[in-house]
Structure 1
Amino acid sequence: MLVRALKFRKAFEYLSVYDLNYKSLPSEEEWNRGEKLCEFLKPFYVITNLFSGSKYPTSNVYFTQVWRIQLLLMKFSSCDDAALADMAERMQVKFDKYWEDYSLVLAMGAVLDPRMKLYLLEKAYEAVDPLTAKVKVKELKDNLILLYNDYVARARPSSRVTTIPTPQELITESPLEDDDFDIDIFDLERSIGTGVSNTKTHLDIYLEEPRLDRASFPSYDVLGYWKDNQHRFGELAKMARDLLSIPITTVASESAFSIGSRVLTPYRNRLLPDNVQALLCTRNWLRGFAESEEDENNNQPNENAISGLRAGESSMP
Structure 2
Amino acid sequence: MSLLSFTAQWIDSQFNLQHATLQAQNFRGSHTADRVREAIEGMLNSWGIDKPRVHVILRDNARNMVKAMDDLEVKSVGCVSHTLQLAVHEGLLSQRSVIDALATARKIVGHFKHSPLAYSRLEDIQKDLKMDVKRLQQDVQVRWNSSLYMLQSILEQKRALSVYAADYSLPATLTANQWTLMEKTAEVLAPFEELKRDVSNPTASAADVIPAITALKRVLSREKTTDQGVRTMKSTLLEAVETRFAEVEEEPLYSIATLVDPRYKDRFFTKSDNMRLATDNLILEVAKIERAASEEPEAAEPMRKTPRQEASSSLGSVLDEILEENQLEARSVSTSADVQVQTYLSEKTRPRKSNPLHYWKDNSSRFPSLAAVATRFLCAPCTSVDSERLFSAVSNVLDEKRNRLSPDRVEILIFLKKKLHLIVKPESESE
1:127-138 equivalences in 2 (<5 Å): 133-138=271-276
Q: What's the offset of the Cα at 1:91?
A: 7.2
Question: Given that residues 60 and 109 in structure 1 are in contact (C-alpha distance below 8 angstroms), is that contact kept between their aligned partners in structure 2?
Answer: yes
Which of the numbers 359, 364, 372 marks the counterpart of 1:238?
372
Q: For residues 113 and 79 of structure 1, do their structure 2 counterparts lie closer, same or farther at Cα, with a shift above 3 Å needed?
A: farther
Question: Given that residues 258 and 265 in structure 2 are in contact (C-alpha distance below 8 angstroms), is that contact kept between their aligned partners in structure 1?
Answer: yes
Question: Given that residues 155 and 235 in structure 1 are in contact (C-alpha distance below 8 angstroms), is that contact kept between their aligned partners in structure 2?
Answer: no
1:204-215 equivalences in 2 (<5 Å): 204-212=342-350
Say whether 1:109 aligns with 2:247: no
Say whether 1:45 aligns with 2:197: no
Say whether 1:26 aligns with 2:174: yes
Say whether 1:219 aligns with 2:331: no
Q: What's the offset of the Cα at 1:239?
A: 0.8
Q: For residues 296 and 137 of structure 1, do their structure 2 counterparts lie closer, same or farther at Cα, with a shift above 3 Å needed?
A: farther
Q: Distance in 2 between matches of 1:15 and 1:136?
A: 56
Q: What's the offset of the Cα at 1:237?
A: 0.8
Aligned length: 211
32-41 or 219-228: which moved more? Answer: 32-41
The residue aligned with 1:69 is: 216
1:4 alignment partner AA: S
Q: Higher helix proportion, which one?
A: 1
Structure label with greater radius of gyration: 1
The residue aligned with 2:381 is: 247
Counterpart secondary structure, 2:349: coil
The residue aligned with 2:131 is: none
Say whether 1:35 aligns with 2:183: yes
Q: For residues 238 and 23 of structure 1, do their structure 2 counterparts lie closer, same or farther at Cα, with a shift above 3 Å needed?
A: closer
Counterpart secondary structure, 2:268: helix
2:211 alignment partner AA: T
Q: For residues 134 and 51 of structure 1, do their structure 2 counterparts lie closer, same or farther at Cα, with a shift above 3 Å needed?
A: closer
Q: Distance in 2 between matches of 1:224 and 1:44?
A: 29
Q: For residues 201 and 91 of structure 1, do their structure 2 counterparts lie closer, same or farther at Cα, with a shift above 3 Å needed?
A: closer
2:158 alignment partner AA: R
Q: For residues 49 and 289 of structure 1, do their structure 2 counterparts lie closer, same or farther at Cα, with a shift above 3 Å needed?
A: farther
The residue aligned with 1:3 is: 152
Which of the numbers 267, 287, 294 marks the counterpart of 1:149?
287
Question: Given that residues 263 and 356 in structure 2 are in contact (C-alpha distance below 8 angstroms), is that contact kept between their aligned partners in structure 1?
Answer: no
Q: What's the offset of the Cα at 1:203?
A: 1.4
Q: What's the offset of the Cα at 1:211?
A: 2.4
2:346 alignment partner AA: E
Question: Given that residues 73 and 92 in structure 1 are in contact (C-alpha distance below 8 angstroms), is that contact kept between their aligned partners in structure 2?
Answer: no
Counterpart secondary structure, 1:121: coil
Unaligned stretches of 5+ residues in structure 1 = 126-132, 158-196, 253-282, 299-317
Q: Distance in 2 between matches of 1:91 and 1:296?
A: 42
The residue aligned with 2:310 is: none
Q: Distance in 1 between matches of 2:261 and 2:343?
A: 14
Question: Given that residues 73 and 89 in structure 1 are in contact (C-alpha distance below 8 angstroms), is that contact kept between their aligned partners in structure 2?
Answer: no
Q: Distance in 2 between matches of 1:15 and 1:141?
A: 61
CA deviation map 1:35-90 (0-9, x unaligned): 2211222333343344346x2522221222222333355459x96228x8469637
Q: For residues 97 and 287 of structure 1, do their structure 2 counterparts lie closer, same or farther at Cα, with a shift above 3 Å needed?
A: closer
1:60 alignment partner AA: A
1:150-299 equivalences in 2 (<5 Å): 150-156=288-294, 201-212=339-350, 217-249=351-383, 284=387, 287-288=389-390, 290=392, 293=395
Q: Distance in 1 between matches of 2:186 and 2:192?
A: 10
Counterpart secondary structure, 2:285: helix
Counterpart secondary structure, 1:31: helix
Unaligned stretches of 5+ residues in structure 2 = 1-149, 296-334, 404-431
Q: Distance in 2 between matches of 1:199 and 1:148?
A: 6
Q: Distance in 2 between matches of 1:69 and 1:200?
A: 32
CA deviation map 1:271-298 (0-9, x unaligned): xxxxxxxxxxxx92x8446586489999
Q: Distance in 2 between matches of 1:99 and 1:21?
A: 48
Question: Given that residues 257 and 377 in structure 2 are in contact (C-alpha distance below 8 angstroms), is that contact kept between their aligned partners in structure 1?
Answer: yes
CA deviation map 1:167-225 (0-9, x unaligned): xxxxxxxxxxxxxxxxxxxxxxxxxxxxxx9996221211111223xxxx341110111
Percent of aligned pairs sharing the same letter: 22
Question: Given that residues 59 and 244 in structure 1 are in contact (C-alpha distance below 8 angstroms), is that contact kept between their aligned partners in structure 2?
Answer: yes
Question: Given that residues 13 and 25 in structure 1 are in contact (C-alpha distance below 8 angstroms), is that contact kept between their aligned partners in structure 2?
Answer: no
1:210 alignment partner AA: K
Q: Distance in 2 between matches of 1:98 and 1:15?
A: 44
2:204 alignment partner AA: P
Say whether 1:92 aligns with 2:239: yes
Q: Higher strand proportion, which one?
A: 2
CA deviation map 1:133-186 (0-9, x unaligned): 1221221122121112112111249xxxxxxxxxxxxxxxxxxxxxxxxxxxxx
Question: Given that residues 57 and 247 in structure 1 are in contact (C-alpha distance below 8 angstroms), is that contact kept between their aligned partners in structure 2?
Answer: yes
1:121 alignment partner AA: F
Q: TM-score by structure 2 length?
A: 0.41
Q: Distance in 2 between matches of 1:91 and 1:292?
A: 37
Q: What's the offset of the Cα at 1:234?
A: 1.0
Say whether 1:121 aligns with 2:268: yes
